[in-house]
Amino acid sequence: MSAQQLDDLWQGRAACRGPNTLIFFPPSHFERKDDREARETKAKSICGSCPVRRDCLDYALRIREPHGIWGGLNETERRVLLDA
């Protein structure tokens, strides 16, 4: 097994897997601010109990993921960490 495959094993244990996956990313159509905040709050609550939250966040920061909730943080919150 390659180092990359070992690094990605966390994904199979992520709490976001399954039918709720769509709430972690913005819809393809316009999303009102209050709808976005509600969607992100729900996604972040799932992240709060995730056993691989730190691995997820590390991955998103490493690849500079520009979209969605990863490791409990949205795009703007991750950008702040990268800029610090």
Beta-bridge mates of residue 73: 70
Q: Which residues are annotated as a binding site for [4Fe-4S] cluster?
A: 16, 47, 50, 56
Q: Which residues are annotated as a binding site?
A: 16, 47, 50, 56
Our separate counts of H helices and E strands in the chain read: 4, 0
Instruction: Give every CB contact of residue 26 below 8 A, 6+ residues apart in sequence.
Output: 36, 39, 67, 68
